[in-house]
């Protein structure tokens, strides 16, 4: 965590003990993390002309009571700022056919062109609602903390779209994968 990020007025900012953190190379670490197969997801926020979004794989189910998911967003990003300002985010687990959406929101398209990819409507909150996903959740931010240059947003789902018949788009070893039951 940089001094700069620590200086921000973030609730729950967590200082890290980085003693000896150079014991492994960044390259080995990146390669290990590339091995962690994960669903390609898109986190969006805002509404209308002020929508923003980003492809993420850093998301997890935090608890069932209360229902809560956790997503990690770059603390310096405009997306983190808009999530904080609007107290919510929309979360979509992409389906196998939504590779172009994943690519666009991963940065292959500029911010203003990303919503040209995928079929978007609005949740009742006004936040972006992606159709055709395996699951999509409109979330209110119910907690947040900053750690290591990232904001961990805890989202409490307010609305859920779900189609378990769709297959997920999985990111693994720096390419898209499909899943099949063993």
Nearest to 76 by CA among 26, 154, 140, 151: 151
47 binds a second copy (CB under 8 A): no
178 binds a second copy (CB under 8 A): yes
Nearest to 167 by CA among 133, 128, 137: 133
The three-point CA angle 77-82-85 to 5° equals: 130
Contacts of 172 (CB under 8 A, 6+ apart): 34, 35, 36, 37, 38
For a second copy, the closer of residues 122 and 159 by Cβ is: 159
65 binds a second copy (CB under 8 A): yes
What SS3 state is found at 154? Answer: strand
Among 3, 49, 110, 182, binds a second copy (CB under 8 A): 182
Among 10, 47, 57, 78, binds a second copy (CB under 8 A): 57
172 binds a second copy (CB under 8 A): yes
131 binds a second copy (CB under 8 A): no
Binders of a second copy among residues 12 to 41 (CB under 8 A) are: 12, 14-21, 23-24, 26, 28-39, 41
Whether the Cβ atoms of residue 54 and residue 114 lie closer than 8 Å to each other: no
Interface mask (CB under 8 A) for a second copy, residues 91-120, using x and -?
--x--x--x---------------------
């Amino acid at each position: 965590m940089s001094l700069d990020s620590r200086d921000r007025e973030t609730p729950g900012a967590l200082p890290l003990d980085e003693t000896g953190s150079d014991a492994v190379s960044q390259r080995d670490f990146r390669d290990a993390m590339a091995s962690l197969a994960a669903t390609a997801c898109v986190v969006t926020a805002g509404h209308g002309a002020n929508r923003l979004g980003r492809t993420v794989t850093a998301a997890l189910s935090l608890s069932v009571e209360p229902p809560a998911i956790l997503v990690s967003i770059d603390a310096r990003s405009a997306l983190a700022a808009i999530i904080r300002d609007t107290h919510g985010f929309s979360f979509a687990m992409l389906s196998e056919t939504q590779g172009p959406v994943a690519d666009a929101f991963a940065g292959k398209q500029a911010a203003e062109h990303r919503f040209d990819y995928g079929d978007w409507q609005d949740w009742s909150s006004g936040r972006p609602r992606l159709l055709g996903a395996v699951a999509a959740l409109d979330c209110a931010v119910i907690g947040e903390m900053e750690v290591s240059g990232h904001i961990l947003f805890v989202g409490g789902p307010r609305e859920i779209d779900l189609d378990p018949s769709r297959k997920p788009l999985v990111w693994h070893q720096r390419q898209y994968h499909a899943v099949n039951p063993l």
